[in-house]
Amino acid sequence: MITAVHLPCRSSKLSIKNIVFDFGGVLIDWDPRHFYNKVFGDPEKADWFIENICTSEWNAQMDAGKPFAEAIKEKQAEHPEYAHEIGLYYEGWPQMIGGEIPEGVEILERLHKSGQFHLYGLTNWSHETIWYAHEHFPFLKYFEKIIVSGEEKMKKPEPLIFDRLLRKTGIAARDTVFIDDTLRNVRASRAMGIAAILCDDFNKVKRELTACTGFKFD
């Protein structure tokens, strides 16, 4: 497990024109425990299931474009004793969403209302479920373009998805800052020349955005 550390934004506030947001953990609360706590009726059993059966690594396959039906069938063959619970993963997926994260959405809305920046999304999300986000989170309309890993068949922290972001939006790395809640994605962004902020504290995110852009939230 990577230990979270403070990584300041390393870019001139005079050059930042583009701000890119991750979704899960920044704007949207997604956690399979929201659903499987109800399935098992016991948080400890749900935790064990998510940590050992339907793991984050397994879910990442769908983020990279693998169909849910295929991944579920394979997992059921590996763990037939949990075939029923595994089979619920896709139909129960909407219940894994806990709602918007108010602090992150407030930052996004302030930046949007300022009219000073171009806003984009870069998310690890299945192409089969991204519809849910569009239907339930109207703040996504603030983004000029959203890069969805499942549609691109690649995911963070792979360098190619950051290159895809730059090419599909036409923005320059030196003019851009990326906000993500996962350290390895922040590091990957920096390695591609894109300034990045680790979203582990929303007040810190505001301070670093101010340092990067000169925009004041107070």
Mean per-residue pLDDT over the chain, rounded = 94
Range from 84-88, 148-152, 178-182, 208-212 carrying the lowest mean pLDDT: 208-212
Tell me which residue of 100, 111, 117 sits closest to 29, measured CA to CA. Answer: 100
Superfamily holding 18-27+101-213: HAD superfamily/HAD-like (3.40.50.1000)
Q: What is the pLDDT of residue 5?
A: 39
- Tokens found for residue 45: 């059993």
Residue 119 binned pLDDT confidence (cut-offs 50, 70, 90): very high
| Positive or negative torsion for Cα 165, 167, 169, 174 | positive
Q: Which residue has the higher pLDDT, 14 or 32?
A: 32
Q: Is the pLDDT of residue 4 over 60?
A: no
**Percent of the chain at pLDDT exceeding 90:** 93
Tell me which residue of 56, 30, 25, 31 sits closest to 199, measured CA to CA. Answer: 25
Instruction: For residue 62, count other CB atoms closer than 10 A to its CB.
Output: 25
Q: What is the pLDDT of residue 218?
A: 81
Tell me which residue of 117, 124, 106, 8 sits closest to 63, measured CA to CA. Answer: 124
- The CA distance from 148 to 179, in Å, is 15
Q: Summarize pLDDT for 84-113 with one digit per residue, the tens.
A: 999 999 999 999 999 999 999 999 999 999
Residue 6 binned pLDDT confidence (cut-offs 50, 70, 90): very low
Is-contact 99 29, C-beta < 8 A? yes
Residue 14 binned pLDDT confidence (cut-offs 50, 70, 90): low
Domain borders along the chain are 18-27+101-213, 30-96
Q: Which residues contact 206 (CB under 8 A, 6 or more apart)?
A: 107, 217
Q: Summarize pLDDT for 132-172 with one digit per residue, the tens.
A: 999 999 999 999 999 999 999 999 999 999 999 999 999 99
